[in-house]
Amino acid sequence: MKQFFMRHAVLTSVMLLFVLLSMICQIIIGFLYQSMIKETDNMSSTENKLLKQCKLKFVNCFQMNAGVANISVFVDKFLNRIRFLGITIPGFHHLSGQMTLLSVFTGGIGICKGIIEGETFSQILPFYILSFLALYLYFSVTSLVDMQTKKDVLRTNLVDYLENHMVNRLSLNLEETQLTEQMERSAATEKKSVENVEKANRIKSFGKAEEEELEELLKEFLV
């Protein structure tokens, strides 16, 4: 085995590198989902940036549209747009699979190279072992991460929080805002009415004063 690694140091290093990158992608998926699931238990005071963005977007959407028609669709859109290092979570999953396939492909290159150089089956057997090991690790870690189940749990927690907590709170705030605006409009209308009445009274008073002054002038003229 030592001689094998010495003869095929480059190819085996590339295979192991691809396997390592594949595992890292899976670990990132598990970490992101697990951290968000944990934070959904205390959404009101969460420090998770992604969940805080979700809450902020929901509040803005609710205020702009006076409600959110379909919270499930809103949550699905949010989950599909989650990014880490500019890559979506499904992107990391696909990238992990591609890294595993590249590892197997590199093993195939090593096998072909060994056959061309006249190596025996036992000499190229480690390439088969490494290829099967890469596939085993990929499917094992994928099943442990269980991306779809974690996504469903996170989705359920978010929908539950937004429907049963955020909506009630935002609806109450919206009603209070509308009531305040209505009271302000009523006060402004009442104030305008009072001003119109006062203005009319001033005009009326001014007209009476002119009439009395005219009568006095006529009396003086006739006398």
Residues 6+ apart with CB under 8 A from 63: 170, 174
Number of Cβ within a 10 Å radius of residue 153: 16
Residue 46 backbone dihedrals phi, psi, to 5 degrees: -65, 145
Tens digit of pLDDT per residue, the chain (223 long)?
Answer: 565 556 667 888 888 899 999 999 888 888 888 888 888 878 777 778 888 888 888 777 777 766 666 778 888 888 888 888 888 888 888 898 899 889 888 888 888 887 887 777 777 787 788 888 888 888 888 888 888 888 888 888 888 887 777 776 766 655 555 545 555 565 556 566 656 656 655 555 545 555 566 566 556 555 5
Range of the domain at 130: 2-222
Q: If DSSP codes are grouped into helix, strand and coil, which group holds residue 23?
A: helix
Q: Domain total for the chain? A: 1
Q: Alpha-carbon distance 20 to 18, whole Å?
A: 5
